[in-house]
Amino acid sequence: MEKYWLVFKKSLKSELTYRSAALWGIISATLSFLIQIFLWRALLGTGVRNDTSFPDMLLYVLLNSFISPLTRANVAGMIENAMIDGTISMELLRPISYKGYMFSQTIGKNIYGVVTATVPVMLISLPLLSGAVLPDMVHILLFFMSALLGIALTFEVTYLAGLLAFWLQRCWFIRFYLHGLRSVFGGTMVPIWFYPEILKNLSYFLPFRYMTFEPINIFLMKSSVEQAWISILAAFLWLIGLSLAGKLVWRAAMKKLTVNGG
Amino acid sequence: MRDFWRLFSSFFKVALRREMAYRGTFLAGIIGQWISYGATFLGIYIMVSSFDILGGWNGSEVLMLYGLSVMSYAIGASFFYNFSNGLAGRIRSGEFDASLTKPIHPFLHEVFSAGYNVGYISHFTVSLVVMAAALSSTNYNLTVQSLMFLILSVLGASLIQASALIASSVMSFFTVGNNPIADFLLWDVKEFTNYPITVFPKGIQFVLTFILPFAFMNFYPAAALLGKAIPEGYPAILPYLSPLVGALVFALSILLWNWGLKNYKSTGS
């Protein structure tokens, strides 16, 4: 555990060296938050559509800008780079699981992103939040469970897709597939409750909706306690299934691995 | 001029061969971009059409905005993305200094040797399909005049996109770190233009029209084409000025680049 903590701290620290990047991170997060707020204001006004009011959307956008940077991971890119410059052979020799190493590194990076990007967004939105209904204690607890599972699940999926790097050599395009799938089936852009029926039903058969959409749904109390437990269970099952698949693929990858120089 | 084309075509062939060396990767990349951009188009459409209308534009009409933006980016970036994105690295490694010794202007040499990016064919095709579908679903009657207007506007828009790429690379002459200005200009600000600018506050409409004129890239031409209102009190001629604005900001961005070059001190490596 200590080893992973060390990787986490190192990763966080290396982010801290780019001070000006943090400033631009704030500007970028604020702009993209404002765009969504103006947009939903124009769409919803003071009315209600599909059970959704403007304060609901405000919370949705806010939580999204909080959870999304936490789930950001580019495992494929990390493996690809390590394979190109040969550092992969060093990394594999370390007395630490490669997956755990990737995970600690990703979380270290992401925590920094959340602190620099989300805090300013929170401050802007505080005065707007007065009309929003906050969830009860049960839903808050369920939200945290669901959000943690969502973060783990996102990492698991990106890890599994990232392992393809061992076969493809070049794989910068994997993140475009993941982005597209998460956007359509994960509701990262538009909440799934606005979707046409076919897409809505399809999303239940894929892991993407449990990444950020379900946790936010629970926080907004759009899921009953019972529905929340079902979605948590589903996320948990996906997590187990995918991590088993990840183990198998990893084993195959180690047999296949070719390192060019390094 | 003949030399220009000869140079361009020989550099172009090299770029094409470089991409085609990894045929599988190239194809997988194209499909990935289709899925990724297709998802954004779908999201915008679902969002707007579940409310019927956004600031007077329906779902298909709003798709024209992002369509124009992606198409003009495809054209502008296929010539200038490698150049813009690679400049910092070439300066850091010292390769850039070789451009200073060539018998053509360093800007042209950089653009040519960075190479044409064939990959943007994916952006181009997806935006073409979406715009054609959007226009046909609104039963738009496309005449020869309006098609000419559309093509000229796309060319102007491509120049605006190219200018943003050129301008954002100027930073590389002064710092060697990563370049947040590029992300800011190319992604954050442009995100506003995915929707009619009339839904945003007046200050933002002003900035997107007169300061960072991204609205000329899609909003104004689309407004002219579809007969939509422009911000109140703005000159009625604005929707027709995209080619002019494009040429103007393109010239400005090259002046800016040359200014950066003049103040550049080699790292000496």
**Percent of chain A at pLDDT above 90?**
35
Cβ-Cβ contacts under 8 Å between A and B: the total is: 98
Contact A43 B188 (CB under 8 A): no
Residue A258 is predicted with a pLDDT of 64
Q: What is the pLDDT of residue A16?
A: 76
Q: Torsion over CA of A85, A86, A92 and A94, rounded to 10 degrees?
A: -80
* Range among A116-125, A126-135, B211-220 with highest mean pLDDT value: B211-220
C-alpha dihedral sign at B213, B226, B244, B111: positive
Q: How much is the pLDDT for B268?
A: 57
CA distances from B125 to A49, B21, B33, B46, B138 (A): 34, 22, 10, 21, 20
The backbone region for B39, taken as left when phi is positive above 0, alpha when psi lies in -120 to 50, beta otherwise, is alpha
SS3 A52: strand
Nearest CA in chain A to B200: A38
Cross-strand partners of B57: B54
Kindly list the residues from chain B whose CB atom is less than 8 angstroms away from the CB atom of residue A184: 39, 42-43
Q: Which residues have CB under 8 Å from B234's CB, separation 6+? A: B209
**Whether pLDDT at B240 is above 60:** yes
Q: Distance, in angstroms, between A141 CA and closest chain B CA?
A: 30
Question: CA A189 → CA A57, A64, A91, A195, distances in Å?
Answer: 12, 9, 36, 11
Residue A176: its chain B contacts at CB < 8 A?
Answer: 29, 32-33, 35-36
- Point out the least confidently predicted range of A12-16, A101-105, A217-221, B166-170: A12-16
Q: Which of A105-114, A122-131, A192-201 has the highest mean pLDDT?
A: A192-201
Please indicate if any CB of chain A lies within 8 Å of the CB of B35. Answer: yes
Token pair of A74 as six digits: 């580019």
CB contact under 8 A, B47 and A42: no
Task: Name which of A219-233, B11-25, B108-122 the model is least confident about.
Answer: B11-25
Task: For residue A174, report the phi and psi dihedrals to the nearest 5 degrees.
Answer: -60, -35
Q: Is residue A261 pLDDT above 60, yes or no?
A: no
What value does the mean pLDDT of chain A take?
86
Chain A interface residues (partner B, CB cutoff 8 A): 18, 20-21, 23-24, 27-28, 31-32, 35, 38-39, 42-44, 49-50, 168, 170-174, 176-177, 179-181, 183-184, 189-190, 194-196, 199
Average pLDDT over residues B148-154: 96
Instruction: List chain A residues with CB under 8 Å of B201.
Output: 38
Residue B192 sits at the chain A interface (C-beta within 8 Å): yes
DSSP B185: I
* Integer Cα distance of B160 and A67 in angstroms: 34
* Choice among A255-259, B1-5, B50-54 with the minimum mean pLDDT: A255-259
Is A29 or A219 the better-scoring residue by pLDDT?
Answer: A219
User: How sure is the predictor about A131, in pLDDT bands with cuts at 50, 70 and 90?
Assistant: low
What residues are paired with B235 via a beta bridge?
Answer: none
Q: Is the pLDDT assigned to residue A262 strictly greater than 50?
A: no
The size of chain B, in residues, is 269
3-state secondary structure of A79: helix
Q: Is A180's CB within 8 Å of B39's CB?
A: yes
The predicted model gives A193-201 an average pLDDT of 92
Give the C-alpha separation, B233 to B264, whole Å: 43
- How many angstroms away from the CA of A21 is the closest CA of chain B? 7
Whether ipTM exceeds 0.95 = no
Question: What is the spatial distance between Cα A57 and Cα A187, in angstroms, rounded to a whole number?
Answer: 13
Has residue A172 got a pLDDT over 90? no
Sign for the pseudo-dihedral over CA of B214, A58, A67, B34: negative
This prediction has a pTM of 0.88
Condensed to tens digits (0 to 9), the pLDDT of residues A173-189 reads 888 999 999 999 999 88
B49 touches chain A (CB under 8 A): no
